[in-house]
């Protein structure tokens, strides 16, 4: 387990930052904003799994709603690296995912789960069906070619 004491600095233990899970159906849809390289790695798995986290990324953080995922993909990912962002979605059993607390990291809809990088393989094993790509966003610095039929970068196949 990685040292996560830095989280205590950002979020003191007495700060209210979690929500209880509401009543849920048996299957829950989660969302994850990704950049182009992560999307390519997801594609390499046949849209079955998210890639391992990088050494400086101790947390895998899926989000609980499309709006927040879209905000990250559109407003953050388009300014970084490949200058594009994508919203992915995946389904998992509620009985599995509710072991993780809902974290509030900003506005009321900024809801995400903090899952240790070491637990990502277990999350991937719980994914029902395939990871879906719901939307794409491109910043002014994007240098790739967009397929006019799909709206996704050339080379991204579904």
Give the range of the structural domain holding residue 77, as residue numbers without chain letter: 20-138
Number of structural domains in the chain: 1
* Residue-level pLDDT at 17: 84
Q: pLDDT tens across 107-119, in order?
A: 899 999 999 999 9
The answer to whether position 46 is within a domain reads yes
Q: pLDDT tens across 69-121, in order?
A: 999 999 999 999 899 999 999 999 999 999 999 999 988 999 999 999 999 99
* Residue-level pLDDT at 32: 99
The answer to whether position 121 is within a domain reads yes
The answer to whether position 156 is within a domain reads no
CATH number of 41's domain = 3.20.170
Q: Tell me the whole-structure pTM to 2 decimals.
A: 0.88
Q: What is the mean pLDDT of residues 10-21?
A: 71
Number of neighbouring beta carbons within 10 Å of residue 129: 10
Question: What Å distances lie between residue 149 and 73, 125, 139, 144, 156, CA to CA?
Answer: 21, 32, 19, 15, 12
What the block records as the tokens of 39 is 């999307």
């Amino acid at each position: 387990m990685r040292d996560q004491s830095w989280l205590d600095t950002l979020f003191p233990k007495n700060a209210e930052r979690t929500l209880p899970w509401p009543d849920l159906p048996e299957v829950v849809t989660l969302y994850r904003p990704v950049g182009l390289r992560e999307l390519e790695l997801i594609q390499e798995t046949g849209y079955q799994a998210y890639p391992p986290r990088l050494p400086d990324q101790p947390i895998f953080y899926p989000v609980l709603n499309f709006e927040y995922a879209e905000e990250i993909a559109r407003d953050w990912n388009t300014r970084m690296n490949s200058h594009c962002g994508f919203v992915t979605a995946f389904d998992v059993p509620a009985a599995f995912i509710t072991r993780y607390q809902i974290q509030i990291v900003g506005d009321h809809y900024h809801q995400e789960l903090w899952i240790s990088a070491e637990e990502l393989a277990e999350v991937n094993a719980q994914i029902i069906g395939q990871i879906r790509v719901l939307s794409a966003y491109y910043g002014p610095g994007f240098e790739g070619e967009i397929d006019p039929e799909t709206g996704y970068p050339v080379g991204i196949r579904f």
